[in-house]
Amino acid sequence: MNMSLVDILQSGWIGMLLRGAGMTVFISLCGIVLGTAIGIAGAAVKVGGNRLARGLVGLYTLIVRSVPELLIIYLLFFGTVQPAADLADYLEWDELMSSAFPMLIGILAIGLISGSYGVEVFRGAFKAIDPGQIEAARAFGMSRAQCLRRVTLPQLLWYALPGANNVWQNALKDTALISLVGLVELMRAAVLGAAATREPMALYLMAGALYFIIGLFSQGLFVLAERRFGHGMRRAAA
Amino acid sequence: MIALIEQAIPVLIEGFWITALIGLSSIVLASVLGLGSALMRVSDNRLLSGCAFAYSTLFRGTPLLIQLFVLYYGVGAIGAVREQPALWWLFSDGVRCAILAIGLNSGAYMGEAIRGGLQSVPRGQIDAARACGMGRALAFRRIIFPLAVRQAFPAYSNELVLAIKGTSLASTIAVMELTGYARRLMSQSFLIVETFIIAGILYLAINMFLLGCAHLVERRLRIERPH
Binned average pLDDT, 10 residues per bin, chain B of 227 residues:
84 95 97 96 93 96 96 88 87 94 97 94 91 91 91 92 96 94 90 93 95 92 73
Buried/exposed code over B37-68 (b: 16+ C-beta within 10 A; e: otherwise): bbbbbbeeeeeebeebeebbeebbbbbbbbbb
pLDDT for res B84: 87
| Domain ranges for chain B | 2-221
Is B187 in the A-facing interface, judged by CB distances under 8 Å?
yes
On whether the CB atoms of residues A38 and A111 are closer than 8 A, the answer is: yes
Q: What is the DSSP string of B156-200?
A: HHHHHHHHHHHGGGGGGGT---HHHHHHHHHHHSS-HHHHHHHHH
On whether the CB atoms of residues A122 and A39 are closer than 8 A, the answer is: yes
Which of A17, A65, A70, A177 to mutate to test binding with chain B, by most B CBs within 10 Å of its CB? A70
| Domain ranges for chain A | 19-129+161-227
Query: Chain B partners of A180 at a C-beta cutoff of 8 Å?
Result: 172
CA separation for the pair A189, A17 (Å, rounded): 6
> What are the Cα distances from residue A132, in Å, to A34, A116, A135, A159?
30, 29, 5, 17
* Inter-chain touch B66–A176, beta carbons under 8 Å: yes
For residue A91, the SS3 value is helix
Q: Which positions of chain A have pLDDT values less than 50? A: 1, 237-238
Query: Chain B partners of A216 at a C-beta cutoff of 8 Å?
Result: 61
CA separation for the pair B197, B195 (Å, rounded): 5
Chain A residues 80-139 with CB within 8 Å of chain B = none
* Inter-chain touch B63–A200, beta carbons under 8 Å: no
Distance in Å, alpha carbon of B61 to nearest chain A alpha carbon = 5
pLDDT for res B76: 84
Q: How many CB pairs under 8 A join A and B?
A: 109
pLDDT for res B226: 66
For residue B133, the SS3 value is coil
pLDDT for res A100: 87
* Inter-chain touch B200–A71, beta carbons under 8 Å: yes
Options 3.40.470.10, 3.40.50.300, 3.40.50.10800, 1.10.3720.10; CATH for A19-129+161-227 is: 1.10.3720.10
Q: Which residue of A has its CA nearest to B65?
A: A176
For residue A226, the SS3 value is helix
pLDDT for res A2: 54
* Inter-chain touch B186–A75, beta carbons under 8 Å: yes
CATH 1.10.1040.10 for domain B2-221:
no
pLDDT for res A238: 41
Question: Which helix (DSSP H) or strand (DSSP E) does residue B9 occupy?
Answer: helix B2-41
